[in-house]
Chains A and B, each alone.
Chain A
């Protein structure tokens, strides 16, 4: 790895995305679990209040990750967002419905109203979790983009080569490689998000809600482990072809890195494209596995704080393994490696990256500090009894 600005920004954007999954991940999980672990209206209010004061701030990680990707890797932002147009649109809809569902649900006594928003919370949380995974899977397996500059078009940048509806269907088409991989990573992500949500519910609530959550986790855990192994195995087989080695210069890689990749080429194919640093990656994968085991025992013992720590570590190790694997590619192209977006041809100018780095160094610790402080303030257990009491006190 080179410690240049694009690399530092790759790490920063990864950290922001990780921040999103770690924070909003558990409230997405609670959103999925909420109709299952909570049977009565009061219990449902328990689950939603468990994330009430924090979900909004959590979602900002996503907005900031988006903003940072836009600023640091504008080519990537423009290409991905226009390529995954319909998929992202669905994510957006889900995020909108989720945000307003929390806000609207309890503002009206009617049972129909509350059931509608409960369903909305479930589906929107599920769709966001699933599609984030689908997007990651598709990107890792390579999506059909072309660099217009190679064809002499100087304004368009990276464009998606497939037209709607294939552009959407192929993301989840199990008969194409990247579609299948996308689906598998999507399902794995949903399972992870459920486990992560359980750890929060055990930490933050008590009584039947926490009990039911635990039983679900014990059932979901083996499925997650199997799926994670399957995804890692498939990721190991991914390779990319190179149509015209001459054009690899468009990746804009530093010279020694270009040489390194050239030496890994076999008949115009880059094999094990995501496992070019096997020692580091396998270490991270093993650490992820160990954390998953730690999670299992923590949940068994009803230790919410520990379970949360371990689900967070599982994701962080797995996530950083993926980042290392893809480096220095950001979005590999199934049209040939030369059409890919690397962190070098996709990034902003050094000046912009420097200015932003200064801002990030100053403000990220501040944000983390006050978010941690807020979490600490709201870390008291809630249960059906405590919610009932609060409502009665208010009415008295």
Chain B
């Protein structure tokens, strides 16, 4: 993409923040729920072990939570700081879900997390249990609103473009339209279940570590069981939702689909490629290994085995005719591999949980499986990152992808805003200073965070009350 140094560094900075944000946030989505389930078990069965389980996992959740908030705050600020032209152009629409997120979700999450973590034996049991569930619901609601905002950038429904006192901008015409934007809603379910899968792998993996070391076996076997059931449901759900999501992308963002599937030529009955490597200069694939089910891509994208799927070359021509010269095809190899690796990992998680459920009765002796579970810990993180990389890089060069109807025809081309136009008028020095310091800070804090997570995760359950 053309554009200057400030643009490049601003993009890197935003990507970096997203990367770190997603090191912490998905765990809060699912671990809060898992811990709330354990607490519910404790208050209904009165068995001490569930109390210790809820406490143990909530503590890991809390360590992680602070950095999730901090990196989220940076995100909110970066819109205004680095993407001010974007922020003013879309603020009438984009700001509203962010504000509602704060009011509706964030207060709930933070306030009740405080009650949950500090309320042991200090508040009535019913209140404590309610607080655990409200902090879990709060984290997921917060994901919902931020994804409504993101979904609008991908598919800007419910808006018009007008000239206001300080220049051209997009204005809201249909609030429920943006709330029930199909792209946004499916994105939320996809992300929320991803958080659930990640958290289940997290719990399973740490449990496997302890069972392998033959310490607190009963405690961690029970934890693993909850994680296996939870994770299995979530990972199967994830694949179903992923399919619906891909179908939406095919309709609304044809260039993203073409890049993600390395599809250069327009094809009827297009195949899914298992492996591909493109020569992006020559606009063709040098390596192509298709899946032996003909027309599957057409089927998944358009629900018909011989539907026509537009290739990158034709899309480029179509975009140039409508929006002028420019490069409208996002990087193909990057997107293909981000998308495909994510999908492959998605199937791997189903197998991981299914195997675990099958071996559960004899889990403490299934050394091979326990090792597999332990070493799977980084995989859901990688899957989440790749998913986001595909979502965001795949829509380039647009920061607001022009609105299409269900057949890929543009119905509001003037709302399209290119990333290069959206960046703030900053100097090179400013963006470099902030970028470098942010990277150093986040790396440092992530190390401290993982050190503490590892310390408390490997230590196992303990009785100490929560104190600063």
Task: Please determine whether chains A and B interact with each other in the same assembly.
Answer: yes
Is A216 in the interface zone, CB < 8 Å from B?
Answer: no
* Interface segment out of the listed B75-83, B303-311, B379-387: B75-83
Q: Measured between alpha carbons, how far is A148 from B165 in the docked complex, in Å?
A: 10
Is A265 in the interface zone, CB < 8 Å from B?
Answer: no
Q: Which residues of B contact A351 (CB under 8 A)?
A: 171-173, 175
Is B110 in the interface zone, CB < 8 Å from A?
Answer: yes
* Interface segment out of the listed B84-92, B278-286, B337-345: B84-92
Given contacts A60-B106, A66-B76, A74-B95, contact A88 B172 (CB under 8 A): no
List A residues 376-396 near B (Cβ within 8 Å): 377-378, 387, 390-391, 393-395
* Interface segment out of the listed A51-59, A177-185, A200-208, A272-280: A51-59
List B residues 409-468 near A (Cβ within 8 Å): 421, 424-427, 429-430, 433-434, 437, 441, 445, 448-449, 452, 455-456, 463-465, 467-468
Q: Smallest CB–CB gap between B131 and chain A, Å? A: 9
Query: By the criterion CB–CB under 8 Å, are A164 and B165 in contact?
Result: no
Q: Measured between alpha carbons, how far is A363 from B145 in the docked complex, in Å?
A: 15
Q: Measured between alpha carbons, how far is A54 from B117 in the docked complex, in Å?
A: 11
Q: Measured between alpha carbons, how far is A73 from B99 in the docked complex, in Å?
A: 12
Contact mask for chain A residues 338-359; partner B; CB cutoff 8 A; 1 contact, 0 none? 0000001110110110011001
Is B167 in the interface zone, CB < 8 Å from A?
Answer: yes
Is A81 in the interface zone, CB < 8 Å from B?
Answer: yes
Q: Measured between alpha carbons, how far is A272 from B172 in the docked complex, in Å?
A: 37
Is B275 in the interface zone, CB < 8 Å from A?
Answer: no
Query: By the criterion CB–CB under 8 Å, are B70 and A105 in contact?
Result: no
Query: By the criterion CB–CB under 8 Å, are B468 and A96 in contact?
Result: no
Q: Measured between alpha carbons, how far is A348 from B88 in the docked complex, in Å?
A: 10
* Interface segment out of the listed A152-160, A224-232, A256-264, A287-295: A152-160
Chain B: which residue is nearest A70 at the CB level? B95
Given contacts A75-B91, A348-B91, A352-B92, contact A370 B111 (CB under 8 A): yes
Most chain B CB inside 10 Å of its own CB: which residue of A67, A89, A370: A67
Q: Measured between alpha carbons, how far is A250 from B167 in the docked complex, in Å?
A: 10
Q: Which residues of A contact B118 (CB under 8 A)?
A: 52-53, 378
Query: By the criterion CB–CB under 8 Å, are A77 and B115 in contact?
Result: no
Q: Measured between alpha carbons, how far is A218 from B71 in the docked complex, in Å?
A: 38
Q: Which residues of A contact B93 (CB under 8 A)?
A: 352
Q: Which of A96, A105, A377 contacts B445 (CB 8 A)?
A: A96
Is B74 in the interface zone, CB < 8 Å from A?
Answer: yes
Most chain B CB inside 10 Å of its own CB: which residue of A72, A96, A355: A96
Most chain A CB inside 10 Å of its own CB: which residue of B85, B122, B437: B85
Interface positions of B (Cβ within 8 A of A): 62-63, 65-67, 69-74, 76-77, 79-82, 84-85, 87-96, 98-104, 106-108, 110-115, 117-119, 122-123, 127, 162-169, 171-173, 175, 421, 424-427, 429-430, 433-434, 437, 441, 445, 448-449, 452, 455-456, 463-465, 467-468
